[in-house]
Amino acid sequence: MTTTTKMIGQAIKRREDPKLITGQGQFLDDVKLTGMLHAVVVRSPYAHATIKGIDASKALALPGVVAVFTGEDMSDINPLPCAWAAGKVDNNLNTPRALAVGKAMHVGDGVALVVAEDRYIARDAADLVEVDYEPLAVVVDAKKATEPGAPQLHENAPSNIVMDWECGDREKTDAAIAAAEVTVREQIVNQRLIPTPMETRGSVARYEPATGEFTVWMTSQAPHVMRLLLAAFVFGIPETSVRCISPNIGGGFGQKIFVYADMAFTMWAARKLGRPVKFVEDRAENYQSSTHGRDHITDVEIAGTRDGRITGLRIDTLANLGGYLSTIAPGIPTTLYGRITTGVYKIPAAHCRVRGVYTNTAMVDAYRGAGRPEASYLIERMVDRFAAEIGMDPAEVRRRNFIPPEDFPYSNGMGLLPYDSGNYGPALDRALQIVGYDALRAEQAEARKQGRYLGIGLSSYVEICGVAPSAWIGLPGEGWGAGLWESANVRVHLTGKVVVTTGSLPHGQGLETTFAQIVADELGVPYDDVVVEWGDTSGTPFGFGTYGSRSLAVGGTAIVKTVAKVREKAKLLAAHMLEARVEDIVWEDGKAFVKGSPDQVKTLGDIALQAAVAYSLPEGMEPSLDETTYYDPPNCTFPFGTHVAVVDIDADTGAVSLRRYVAVDDVGTVINPLIVDGQLHGGIAQGVAQALTEGAIYDDDGQLVTGSLLEYAVPKASLFPQFETDRTVTRSPVNPLGVKGAGEAGTIASAQAVMNAVIDALQPFGVKHLQMPATSERVWNAMHGGTRGARS
């Protein structure tokens, strides 16, 4: 029926690139509207303070200043919604408003808005707004926030607890641990990270009084969802009055999924002032007031037998969620973390408790991997700890506990949908073979004799992609306040050109290219005849956007199913045109012909023309080749693999250098290897950075010490070697393409590969665990006994 595969699997270069490499991309700050005003936010210098008064008179006196607004001015709109509360437990919800009212909850909390004719004037005026603060006691650490006597941030959240959630089997786990031959306990911190897309966030809002309609340009990974949340929840107006447009997005990594204050206050101010209003964060603002990621403190215990069988896993996590809840904050450390903490292992008894905690810090929400990096870091560190405890090679312990291939689909007992497919052994074997594991172990032994320290770290991971079946993740079960299906529309123009519109929102993933490859094959048309459109709520069907490595597995499948509808209709019409029975129509290379008469051909263009002019259609057929699908996946997908890091440690300084990095991933079917490898490279880099350089630090007063790129160490090119990538391919049975997803796998796999290598290198010093990031000083201390806490 379809033609032989031509495009899927090919490493073709991206169609997105010509404009981006010539400076023709259109990013948010490039949006310029007639009469546009510029907004600058006055932000709290205190982490916790009562706002006693705001005097804007000096600012208003500056020529060019149009208005200064406070949170109270905007009391006619609602707080931003939290759309994902933790499932089946009470959630003490507190969300931010467009501007703070009464109290500031973290440094950088927006307190007033200055709107002026240009951004220089607005910036000058912001310094002239006088805010009278009364500082309050501050708490930034999740553990301290739950202790008696800690400052209470919100009236409805005693002990600053957002929610107390659990999964797995507590009794069985307690029993397994009590009965175990070997138990290992550790406190593992997954430090706070700042996502740092290279483009900061921002919004431009326009209001048309005549129609009451808003148009909002935004740096959003999910403009349809933003439209829904802003219209229905924040402004209480019909969705039809708001059009959201995401132009080119300069990286998201999760930070650009959420609804933010600036979307609301630019809309509000544009309506109030009758002129478009633009707001773009500077980097300091992005660091202080856009979302952060991770920030877990976990007490964990693993139990097993002397011959390397893991028998139990008990986890108790405090998840710092910041001063308010961001859009999907409680869902990340619960559904996307707790439920996959058993990783690639068949563990008979496991339990995970998670408490979300308010602190006087920026909101914490999804950051690349979102819950799954925290889970895989935890289990992979503990497997290494267990291996060291029983004196077994870490590769062997992994092999002994892998979920065997015959067990798929596999339920892990943590309330997750069954893992779709997997075969973990070959990826481990391949990674060890590429890195030359045995030779490295020999080199390591030799080096240690000479006082040189190299370490080899493994990470075997599984993650959750292609989120998610709405019936599972939705409110009654997992607490997600909507569905997670995805949409696609495919229409064939009269000339035979195919236009695909998707609710996915590419921002670096190369989806325009990937989707076009799929459509070219599925419809049998030339790749160049396929156009992919996205990003504008007025031109695309509703979709939930791009995150959670879902765009190919869910969005791509929606396209495949839509193309199938187009093809079937085209065949029906071709049969009519060729005066044949549809059963006799052969579809090949984008053309229809009657079986046995390949000279009697109708091209897709011929058929599209006939469908459009429509003067001779089969009985009951609607005009036009234009189909839409709303696809809800039956399951998530579960990519996996093994990564190996090799590090050298400078014994004098503690400096860690990453000598090699080998990644063997299984992301299911690969549509474009160039793009998949690129996704993995970037993902790996972010995980390596968590292991070695990055970490957001608040001091006890709640000041963000790592408040700029001078202090927060986003990695540079010199940190990395060339990555060595390979893959195994295990098709996902969940979708017709057999794809799993690749956007987050690298990040989910890499931090623990590097940390396991660092700790492996430090084994002669008796080091059993080290918290991230493994800065030179931290390693040096561990080698020289500077922090006894590093040893146990």
Partner 1 sequence: MTTTMAIKVTVNGETRVADVEPRTLLVHWLREDLALTGTHIGCDTSQCGACVVHVDGRAVKSCTMFAAQADGCAVTTIEGLGAADALHAVQDGFWEEHGLQCGFCTPGMIMTAAELLARNPDPSEAEIRHALEGNLCRCTGYHNIVRAIQHAAKGATA
Partner 2 sequence: MITTEFSYQKAGSVDEALRLLAAAPDSALLAGGHSLIPSMKLRVTAASALVDISGVAALKGVSRAGDTFRIGASTTHRDVAESADLRSGSPLLAEVAGVIGDPAVRNRGTIGGSLAHADPAADYPAAIIALGAQIEVAGTSGSRTIAADDFFTGTFETAVAAGEMITAVTVPAATGVAYEKFVHPASGYAVVGVAAVVTVAGGTISSLRVGVTGAGPQALRLTGLESALAGKTADDATLRSACSGLVAAGDLVGDHQASAAYRASLVDTLARRAIARAAARG
Q: Which of residues 100-129 bind partner 2 (CB under 8 A)?
A: 119-120, 123-124, 127
| Partner that binds at residue 23, options partner 2, partner 1, none, CB closer than 5 to 8 Å by kind | partner 1
Among 181, 729, 777, 789, binds partner 2 (CB under 8 A): 777
User: Please, which residues have CB within 8 angstroms of residue 26's CB and are 6 or more apart in sequence?
Assistant: 247, 248
For partner 1, the closer CB: 123 or 452:
123
State the minimum distance, in angstroms, from the CB of residue 120 to partner 2.
5
- Short-list 254, 227, 452, CA closest to 368: 254
For partner 1, the closer CB: 255 or 730:
255
Among 533, 709, 766, 789, binds partner 2 (CB under 8 A): 709
Rounded-to-integer distance, Cα 791 and Cα 775, Å = 16
Among 711, 721, 766, 792, binds partner 2 (CB under 8 A): 711
State the minimum distance, in angstroms, from the CB of residue 517 to partner 1.
14
Residue 494 near partner 2 by CB under 8 A: no
For partner 2, the closer CB: 203 or 693:
693
605, 630 Cβ separation under 8 angstroms: no
Rounded-to-integer distance, Cα 216 and Cα 219, Å = 10
State the minimum distance, in angstroms, from the CB of residue 512 to partner 1.
12
Q: Which of residues 542-581 bind partner 2 (CB under 8 A)?
A: none
Residue 710 near partner 2 by CB under 8 A: yes
Among 713, 738, 763, 791, binds partner 2 (CB under 8 A): 713
Rounded-to-integer distance, Cα 20 and Cα 540, Å = 23
Rounded-to-integer distance, Cα 11 and Cα 674, Å = 5
For partner 2, the closer CB: 20 or 697:
697
Give the footprint of partner 1 on this chain (CB under 8 A).
13-14, 16-27, 29-30, 32, 63, 120, 196-200, 248-253, 282-284, 507-510, 674-675, 677-679, 681-686, 688, 708-710, 714, 716-718, 720, 722-723, 746
State the minimum distance, in angstroms, from the CB of residue 521 to partner 1.
21
**Neighbour count for residue 582 (Cβ, 10 Å):** 15
For partner 2, the closer CB: 510 or 702:
702
For partner 1, the closer CB: 96 or 548:
548
DSSP state of 537: T
Tell me which residue has tokens 């695909």: 500
* DSSP three-state, residue 68: strand
Q: Which of residues 280-299 bind partner 2 (CB under 8 A)?
A: 282-284
Cis check for the bond before 404: say yes or no (omega within 30 of 0): no
For partner 1, the closer CB: 169 or 282:
282
- Short-list 677, 569, 670, 690, CA closest to 625: 569
Which amino acid is it at 361? Answer: T
Sign of CA dihedral 442, 447, 448, 452: negative
Residue 361 near partner 2 by CB under 8 A: no
User: Please, which residues have CB within 8 angstroms of residue 268's CB and are 6 or more apart in sequence?
Assistant: 69, 74, 77, 98
147: Cα separation from own chain's centroid: 31
Residue 716 near partner 2 by CB under 8 A: yes
Among 159, 600, 706, 763, binds partner 2 (CB under 8 A): 706
| Size of site (CB under 8 A) for partner 2 | 31
Residue 449 near partner 2 by CB under 8 A: no
| Residue 245, H or E segment | strand 242-245
Q: Tokens for 332? A: 């990340």
For partner 2, the closer CB: 1 or 61:
61
Backbone angles phi and psi of 714, in degrees to 5: -65, 130
Rounded-to-integer distance, Cα 26 and Cα 690, Å = 31
Backbone angles phi and psi of 729, in degrees to 5: -125, 110
| Residue 780, H or E segment | helix 776-784
For partner 1, the closer CB: 658 or 734:
658
Give me the half-sphere count of Cα atoms (radius 13 Å) on the Cβ side of residue 374. Answer: 35
Cis check for the bond before 409: say yes or no (omega within 30 of 0): yes
Residue 776 near partner 2 by CB under 8 A: yes
Residue 196 near partner 2 by CB under 8 A: no
Per-residue burial over 748-781, b = 16 or more CB atoms within 10 Å of its CB, e = otherwise = bbbbbbbbbbbbbbbeebebbbbbbbbbbebbbb
| Partner that binds at residue 18, options partner 2, partner 1, none, CB closer than 5 to 8 Å by kind | partner 1
State the minimum distance, in angstroms, from the CB of residue 197 to partner 1.
6
Which one of the spans 63-71, 294-302, 453-461, 703-711 is the region binding partner 2 (CB under 8 A)?
Answer: 703-711
| Partner that binds at residue 26, options partner 1, partner 2, none, CB closer than 5 to 8 Å by kind | partner 1
State the minimum distance, in angstroms, from the CB of residue 136 to partner 2.
25
| Partner that binds at residue 301, options partner 1, partner 2, none, CB closer than 5 to 8 Å by kind | none
| Partner that binds at residue 556, options partner 1, partner 2, none, CB closer than 5 to 8 Å by kind | none
| Partner that binds at residue 199, options partner 1, partner 2, none, CB closer than 5 to 8 Å by kind | partner 1
246, 218 Cβ separation under 8 angstroms: yes
State the minimum distance, in angstroms, from the CB of residue 767 to partner 2.
17
State the minimum distance, in angstroms, from the CB of residue 777 to partner 2.
4
Per-residue burial over 19-38, b = 16 or more CB atoms within 10 Å of its CB, e = otherwise = eeeeeebebbbebebeebbb
| Residue 749, H or E segment | helix 745-761
- Short-list 96, 105, 108, 113, CA closest to 288: 108
- The number of residues making up the chain comes to 792
Among 705, 729, 789, 792, binds partner 2 (CB under 8 A): 705
Residue 780 near partner 2 by CB under 8 A: yes
CA dihedral 329, 335, 341, 347 (to 10 degrees): 160
Question: Do β-strands 350-358 and 626-631 pair in parallel, antiparallel, or remain unpaired?
Answer: unpaired
For partner 2, the closer CB: 125 or 332:
125
For partner 1, the closer CB: 436 or 678:
678
State the minimum distance, in angstroms, from the CB of residue 28 to partner 1.
10
State the minimum distance, in angstroms, from the CB of residue 13 to partner 1.
6
- Short-list 511, 5, 231, CA closest to 501: 511
| Partner that binds at residue 720, options partner 1, partner 2, none, CB closer than 5 to 8 Å by kind | partner 1
Which amino acid is it at 183? Answer: T
Among 697, 731, 736, 771, binds partner 2 (CB under 8 A): 697
- Short-list 662, 659, 641, CA closest to 650: 659
User: Please, which residues have CB within 8 angstroms of residue 17's CB and are 6 or more apart in sequence?
Assistant: none
State the minimum distance, in angstroms, from the CB of residue 442 to partner 2.
27
Rounded-to-integer distance, Cα 358 and Cα 153, Å = 7
Tell me which residue has tokens 């929610």: 163
Among 418, 426, 678, 715, binds partner 2 (CB under 8 A): 715
State the minimum distance, in angstroms, from the CB of residue 484 to partner 2.
37
| Partner that binds at residue 434, options partner 2, partner 1, none, CB closer than 5 to 8 Å by kind | none
For partner 2, the closer CB: 201 or 430:
201
Q: Tokens for 114? A: 């200055």
State the minimum distance, in angstroms, from the CB of residue 650 to partner 2.
9
User: Please, which residues have CB within 8 angstroms of residue 331's CB and are 6 or more apart in sequence?
Assistant: 84, 85, 86, 87, 478, 479, 480
State the minimum distance, in angstroms, from the CB of residue 286 to partner 2.
12
| Partner that binds at residue 697, options partner 2, partner 1, none, CB closer than 5 to 8 Å by kind | partner 2
Among 653, 700, 721, 789, binds partner 2 (CB under 8 A): 653
> Which chain residues interact with partner 2 by CB under 8 A?
119-120, 123-124, 127, 282-284, 652-653, 655, 693, 697, 705-706, 709-716, 719, 775-777, 780-781, 784, 786
